[in-house]
Amino acid sequence: MARATIDLNAATAEELDEIPALRGHGFEIVRTREERGRFTSLRQLDEVPGLAGKTGDLTESLTVDDRSQEPG
For the chain, 72 residues long, the average pLDDT of each consecutive 10-residue run is: 80 95 95 96 92 83 75 45
Q: pTM score, two decimals?
A: 0.82
Instruction: State the pLDDT at residue 11.
Output: 97
Instruction: State the pLDDT at residue 3.
Output: 60
CB 29 within 8 A of CB 72: no
Domain boundaries, the chain: 6-63
CA 67, chain centre distance (Å): 15
